Every structure is written in C-alpha cells, then in structure tokens.
Amino acid sequence: MEAAQDKQAVDVTVLKLAGTVAFAEYFLVCSGSSQPQIKAIGEAIEERLDRGGKHLAHREGKSGAEWVLLDYGDFIVHIFSERARQYYDLERLWRNAERFDVPAPGRPPGTHAEPEGDAAQR
C-alpha cells in the first residue's frame, strides 16, 4: 500500500476475498490520474515487493493502458484510471468481501481527498 501511496495513488482499497473465492485472498484496488502515473504505481509496487522477496507471478495491461493487474498468487493488485475503475466497479462486483479503505497519508480514516477541478465547483 505504501508503494502505491508513494506514487500518489488515490482511493486505495483492500478487499478481503478469503473464504469467498479460491484464486486469491486479497485484492488491492487503487486509481491513478494518468497513464504514466498508473505505470509508475505498478512499477513501484513491483519493485517494493520484489525487494521484500514477493515475486510477481503475472502482469496484465500494457504501457499506456487504463488499468494494470499484478498477480502475486494470494493477492492481486488492480490499478485503474478513474474511468476504468468506475466501469469495472470491482468494489460492487465483490461487495460481499470485507472492505478496508486506506486513508491517504496524513488524512484521518473515513475521510477522502477533496475533488479537483470542475467537480470541486459543483
């Protein structure tokens, strides 16, 4: 999670799937605001976990993609653009999973970042 947050990932969420599916115990879901940021988040996570001895089993999503999937066996990392995250809506799809929203560094639990741009004016 820290590797994603170090690259300014937003809306970091962990879904605990243990007991509901056989293919993974956890999903880490987060968003990036641009394709280069999505790529940087993925690379930072891969590097941090590789240094910790946890090696990537499979990767989906090409350079310039709106999503990246990093498969570590017992947990899977999903990095989306905000548009792709809304489209795939994994939190709704896996709504029976236990959910943990991870607050941004320096922000108390249960709070979210202020919207930017046009959304902040609505």
- If the chain, 122 residues long, is cut into consecutive pieces of 10 residues, what is the mean pLDDT of each piece? 88 90 90 94 95 95 88 96 95 93 69 38 31
pLDDT given for residue 107 in this prediction? 55
Phi, psi of 81 (to 5 degrees): -70, 165
- Superfamily covering domain 2-103: Beta Polymerase, domain 2 (3.30.460.10)
Q: What is the 3-state secondary structure (H, E, C) of 49-109?
A: HHHCCCCCCEEECCCCCCEEEEECCCEEEEEEEHHHHHHHCHHHHCCCCEEEEECCCCCCC
